[in-house]
Amino acid sequence: MTTSACTNHVFVLMGVSGSGKSAVASEVAYRMKAAFLDGDFLHPRANIDKMSRGLALNDKDREPWLQALNDAAFAMQRTHNVSLIVCSALKKSYRDLLRKGSQNLSFIYCRGDFDTIESRLRARKGHFFKPQMLVTQFATLQEPGSDESDVLVVDIKPSLDEVVANTIRIIQNKAG
């Protein structure tokens, strides 16, 4: 089943931990009255159990989760003009699974440099930050290339308000 007749659009906000994906997406969703889903909510119980034991997920662990996100994106684009999903989508293979069968899905890459993101993570109140986690995120990140024309980029260096405004402009330009 394809969704080519559907004019509604799903945007996956992607990027490393600390890039502001959730903060940006929730504010954009509020301002645009768009649907919003934090992709972490769809992790299967086995993944949650594994992560709670301090174990990293592997690609095999992530596959059913990414399929659930793909299914959610399909459902969201059938019922909402604009939908936002937060998912790190660090690898191209993850993005390929998310976009499978969805012609009305784009990614918004919340791009920032290591130093900017590290300083923001360190400034978070009540948040335990391990610098090695950020190193691992950047090591895993496969930055989208020219072969991924459905990936739009927002620079996260400006203030949150500016990033939100820039993201809204990106969405309005893409979704028409």
pLDDT tens sequence across 153-173: 999 999 999 999 999 999 999
Pick the range with the lowest mean pLDDT from 46-50, 104-108, 142-146: 46-50
Residue with tokens 């490393």: 16
- CA neighbours closer than 13 Å in the CB half-sphere of residue 47: 17
Q: What pLDDT is recorded for position 129?
A: 61
Judged by phi (left if over 0) then psi (alpha if -120 to 50, else beta), residue 156 lies in alpha
Domain boundaries, the chain: 9-175
Q: Give phi and psi for 153, each to the nearest 5.
A: -120, 135
CB 109 within 8 A of CB 21: no
The Cβ of residue 64 has, within 10 Å, a number of other Cβ atoms equal to 14
Query: For residue range 84-97, what is the model confidence (pLDDT) as tens digits?
Result: 999 999 999 999 99
Selected residue with higher pLDDT from 46 and 51 = 46
Q: Is 116 exposed, middle or buried (0-12, 13-18, 19+ CB in 10 A)?
A: middle
Q: What pLDDT is recorded for position 127?
A: 60
Average per-residue pLDDT in the chain?
91
Checking if the pLDDT of 19 tops 90, the result is: yes
Overall CATH class of domain 9-175 = alpha beta
